[in-house]
A and B are shown apart, each in its own frame.
Chain A
Amino acid sequence: MIEARGIVKRFGAFTALDGVSVDVPTGSLTALLGPSGSGKSTLLRVIAGLEQPDAGEVFLDGEDVTRRPPQARGVGFVFQHYAAFKHMTVWDNIAFGLTIRRRPRTQIKQRVSELLDLVQLSGLAKRYPAQLSGGQRQRMGLARALAVDPKVLLLDEPFGALDARVRKELRLWLRRLHDETHTTTVIVTHDQEEAMDVADRVVVMNAGRIEQTAPPRELYDNPANEFVMSFVGPVNRLGDTFIRPHDVELLLEPNGSTQEAMVQRLVHLGFEVRVELVRDDGETMSAQLTREQVEALELQHGQIVYVRPTRQTVFTD
């Protein structure tokens, strides 16, 4: 269980965290989601002890660790750019935490072999990080962090430096790992798809503050404000009203509350089709339909249709 209370962190004139409080339940996989500069990495580093907050406290399992150095917190940290020990082999990298704790050689050997199997790097134990791919280095980074059985696993945009396919693979793999080990995990990401895919709970951050904390579904269906709604998925903004593209209904005949619009572009994305529209008042919007729906309506470029939201959201401040 991680608790952060009223964390304030400034870098010169820039306030990275403005009185942030967050709870991470034991055994959960929580994502800190937000754009660059939102403070999510800073918060993670404060929890790890790699940064000292200007105000506020951090508790791990009920203990106040705010003044404790990272060595004494029992956290495992995985870095975006791997932070591999370049002059050590993969084996020595993973064994590092155990080596400096002077564990017996047999114990180290067993644990490192175990971990190499877990992260599927068994044949590469004698290689140096420079000889590995990005994905392999990150798996090594994870194994290294897990070697000392941390109470808490913290990952700072761990897949950010990898290409899209590897990112998706590792994401899935991380989720499976968590389902097996149930280590309390916090992952920082700016990729909303990643957060929604992998986490039990998502903490949305913006400009040093927390906007909303909820499970992915809740976040999507009941966003707390405009920022969260826009960040977590595509959205049409019409004045003060927000409509999800898949909540836009297209009709061929006007019907009371509908509005007239013209089909500007049809983008076929496999199973779904994004229909880009221009309304009669000049505003653009997009609707998301299935292929069947588009075929049923016989939609074409330039066609006039009638638009009605099946669901819309207005935020009252």
Chain B
Amino acid sequence: MAASADGLSAAPGARRSLAPGLSIGLSTLYLSVIVLLPLAALSWKAHGWGAVSTPQATAALRLTLGLSLAVALVNAVAGTVIAWTLVRDRFVGQGFVNALVDLPFALPTIVAGLTLLALYGPKSPVGINAAFTRWGLLLALLFVTLPFVVRTVQPVLFELDREMEDAAASLGAGRFTTFQRIILPSILPAILSGVALAFARAIGEFGAVVLISGNLPFKTEVVSVYVFGRLESGDSGGAAAASVIILLISFGVLLAIGALRRWVTRHDR
């Protein structure tokens, strides 16, 4: 704490030097007990790696990764369009729509899944039955990941220097060219951030998918459900192993997206 720039630890008196110690110590202890310890137990007790390479497990893995990727891509487009509408457009009820985007953050995942099942399931009033299909899974994942790209792109779009667009117009660029060459490159880092968040969320989603997908192995069983299933069968070691695998994969993907994002913003350094 020697050369700290804040007044609290630089000032004399035993009382003052207690404060940083207290907050650091307490929060580290809390974090360790609540987060790190359970995760350590998970990695330690992960065994039964054979369970992870069964056809059912690999099917669940492939399905989860594929769906999460698809969801991330759809969100990249849909999220940008929605952010655009909230920032550049002007219409009655815009505030309501803006608040609506946060609904998936506030609504319990099981409720989200239930509502989708009600409207797009076996008793659908509009004749769409996506239950027990991958489309149902897709819907559920799109629901819970909706806010991510919107919320990362919105502030960037808001702060965008309009004069760049004026400059492009004065140089002869039409609206689409301006979007393609000026606006899109500027919001791409934000889109990538949102995509990373959406991907991470989609990979682990459980509550929203558990009802609508029917959890049919090889067809609509995602990894989180597979892990749950392993647990119910008493194979906690195998469940843990599968968890560790999926954690490592998502970690890898997030690192890759982070690197991509850094490359895209290389001109800012």
| Contact surface of A with B, Cβ cutoff 8 Å | 48-50, 69-71, 75-77, 79, 81, 83-89, 96-97, 100-101, 128-130, 141, 144-145, 147-148
Q: How far is the CB of A131 from chain B (nearest CB, A)?
A: 9
Distance in angstroms from A107 CB to nearest chain B CB is: 15
A85-B182, A100-B177 known; A79 vs B172 contact (CB < 8 Å): no
On whether A100 and B181 interact (CB within 8 A), knowing A50-B169, A77-B166, A81-B163, the answer reads: yes
Give the distance to chain B from A203, nearest Cβ to Cβ, in Å: 21
Chain A nearest Cβ from B192, distance in angstroms: 14
A97 to B159 alpha-carbon distance, docked (Å): 24
* CB neighbours of B181 from chain A (8 A): 85, 96, 100
Do B173 and A71 touch across chains, with their CB atoms under 8 A apart? yes
A85-B182, A87-B185, A100-B181 known; A130 vs B267 contact (CB < 8 Å): yes
Chain B residues positioned under 8 Å from A49 (CB to CB): 169-170
Residues on the B chain within 8 Å of A89, using CB: 267
A79 and B163 contact, CB distance less than 8 A: yes
| A129 nearest CB neighbor, chain B only | B267
**Chain A CB within 8 A of B171 CB:** yes
The reply to whether A85 and B169 contact each other, CB–CB distance below 8 Å, is: no
What's the minimum C-beta distance from B116 to chain A, rounded to whole angstroms? 39
Closest 5 CB pairs of A and B: A83-B163, A77-B170, A97-B171, A83-B167, A128-B267
Q: Is the interface of B mostly helix, strand, loop or mixed?
A: helix
Q: Is the CB of B164 within 8 A of A97?
A: no
Interface, chain B (partner A; CB < 8 A):
161, 163-164, 166-174, 177, 181-182, 185-186, 267-269
Interface pair A100/B171, CB less than 8 Å apart: yes
Residues of A within 8 A of B177 (CB): 100
Partner of B174, one of A71, A75, A83, A144: A71
Least CB distance from B241 to A in Å reads 44
Task: Please give, as numbers and ranges, the residues of chain A lying within 8 Å of B172 by CB-CB distance.
Answer: 71, 97, 100-101, 148
The residue that A144 contacts in the complex, of B163, B171, B173, B185, with Cβ under 8 A, is: B171
What is the CB-to-nearest-CB distance from A114 to chain B, in angstroms, rounded to a whole number?
17
A69 to B174 CA separation, bound complex (whole angstroms)? 9
Beyond the given pairs A76-B170, A86-B268, A144-B171, 19 more chain A to chain B contacts, judged by CB atoms under 8 angstroms and listed by A's residue number, are A69-B169, A70-B169, A71-B170, A71-B173, A71-B174, A76-B171, A77-B167, A83-B161, A83-B163, A83-B166, A85-B168, A88-B267, A97-B172, A100-B172, A100-B181, A128-B267, A130-B267, A144-B167, A145-B170
Chain B residues whose C-beta falls within 8 Å of the C-beta of A101 in the assembled complex: 172
CB distance from B157 to the nearest CB of A (A): 15
Report which residue of B166, B167, B168, B181 has the largest number of chain A beta carbons within 10 angstroms of its beta carbon.
Answer: B167
Query: Once bound together, how far apart are the Cα atoms of A48 and B166, in whole Å?
Result: 10
